[in-house]
Amino acid sequence: MKIGPFETDVLMDIAVRPPMVFVEGKGSWLIDQRGKRYLDFIQGWAVNCLGHCPPEIAETIATQARRLISPSAAFFNDAAIGLAQRLTGLSGLERVFLASSGAEANEGAIKLARKWGSLNRDGAWQIVTFVDAFHGRTLATMSASGKAGWDRLFEPKVPGFPKATLNDLDSVRGLIGRETVAIMVEPIQGESGVVMAEDEFLRALRRLCDEHGLLLIFDEVQTGVGRTGRLFAAEHAQVRPDIMTLGKGLGGGVPLSALLASERASCFEHGDQGGTYCGNPLMAAVGSAVLDRVSQPAFLEGVCTRGQQLARRLDELVARHRLAGERGRGLLRALDLGRPCAARVVDCARDLAPEGLLVNAPRPHLLRLMPALNIESDAIDRMVELLDGVLTTTLNQ
């Protein structure tokens, strides 16, 4: 496909992509090759927690790039230690492994749990995961995921991920056996459509793990780093996992993720885990800059306030257009349209002129909204105005 001067066929055709090429971003706005502006409520899939190209990240990258980029994962560097110190201080988990993507952090969590089972649980190796879960796109994390349709892809799968049903404790209990070493869960299933694990369910999982001597793994790749109005979503339920993974918002847009573990669960031996870019100071410095901003109580308070504003404004749309409802926590929210027209709404919103609106449809009837965590109140009102117009058009077609 030719878009302006760009021949796009050089890229592998891995997804349906709309016919524009983004060339610039600033805050809540993206700009394409024609200069058209788009109000962005996707933000790189909940990645750009401070919006597009925030000055503090641009500055951090420039400064760190002049000092040190990649001394190799085989050596210590000051930026990686600095980020790990922040993460341990903020999470209460004592050990950190830095990586580049959510899938890589989760792959590390799976390896760590299996290693722990081999050392402490007589070789137990199975990890209970959940229907509709999303943990990434490596073979093991795809196998751990419960995404519809994925069960038949890239067979044979990595074995050992029996699937329970979210918020159904008996379904978890029924899968625990001699070979079970851990339970892995997203506090909110993001990719499957902002489906919340109840706080009491997460507490019950903690008790179940303690009872059976299992590790509790929270995949906070999407929910972590302020997205839900707390630094970690686990804080809402006041549950501490043994292992936690972070990604997306941690890098504020650059490839950075982290595997955190309690000292008790942190059992990797030399040679078990690594990676060329793991702990590279360029990304680690960005992670520290992001955390210094996002972990401020006033910043998290702002996420809660904006989340409430967004929820309230979405509720108005629900009432006006007779939609099924809205849900979510903080600035991870979904609007249930109650009918399978989400793809049409996404297209129509994007094609608005002169300014487009970018929203995501993880399900045929559902829109997901994940703006920058420092989004301005006006931008939320503008989004609702644009979406209101789109709903009026599409629902009456």
Ligand X SMILES: *Cc1c(COP(=O)(O)O)cnc(C)c1O
Q: Which residues contact 180 (CB under 8 A, 6 or more apart)?
A: 124, 126, 127, 128, 212, 214
SS3 291: helix
Q: Which of 247, 251, 253, 307 binds ligand X (CB under 6 A)?
A: 247
Q: Which of 77, 91, 143, 222 binds ligand X (CB under 6 A)?
A: 222
User: Counting contacts by CB under 6 A, is residue 191 touching ligand X?
Assistant: yes
Q: Name the catalytic one among 132, 219, 242, 336.
A: 219
For residue 386, give Cα distances in angstroms to 217, 308, 356, 390: 39, 19, 8, 6
User: Counting contacts by CB under 6 A, is residue 186 touching ligand X?
Assistant: yes
For residue 20, give Cα distances in angstroms to 31, 35, 48, 344: 10, 10, 20, 17
CB 266 within 8 A of CB 124: no
Output 40 or 191, the one with its CB closest to ligand X.
191
Output 51 or 251, the one with its CB closest to ligand X.
251
SS3 382: helix
Q: Which of 221, 289, 342, 349 binds ligand X (CB under 6 A)?
A: 221
**Length of the chain (residues):** 397
Smallest gap, in angstroms, from Cβ of residue 207 to ligand X?
A: 23
Q: Is residue 351 annotated as part of the catalytic site, yes or no?
A: no
For residue 326, the one-letter residue type is E
Site string for ligand X, 52-91 (x = CB under 6 A): ----------------------------------------
CB 116 within 8 A of CB 215: yes
Q: Which stretch binds ligand X (CB under 6 A): 33-41, 183-191, 232-240, 280-288?
A: 183-191
Q: Name the catalytic one among 115, 218, 248, 336.
A: 248
Q: Is residue 78 annotated as part of the catalytic site, yes or no?
A: no
Q: Which stretch binds ligand X (CB under 6 A): 17-25, 31-39, 101-109, 281-289?
A: 101-109
DSSP 260: E
Smallest gap, in angstroms, from Cβ of residue 37 to ligand X?
A: 26
Q: Which stretch binds ligand X (CB under 6 A): 134-142, 272-280, 282-290, 376-384?
A: 134-142
DSSP 254: B
Within the chain, residue ranges assigned H as helices are 43-46, 55-67, 78-91, 102-120, 139-144, 169-173, 199-212, 234-237, 281-294, 297-321, 342-350, 377-395
Output 287 or 356, the one with its CB closest to ligand X.
287
Active site residues: 134, 219, 248
> Binding residues for ligand X, per CB under 6 A?
101-103, 106, 134-136, 186, 190-191, 219, 221-222, 247-248
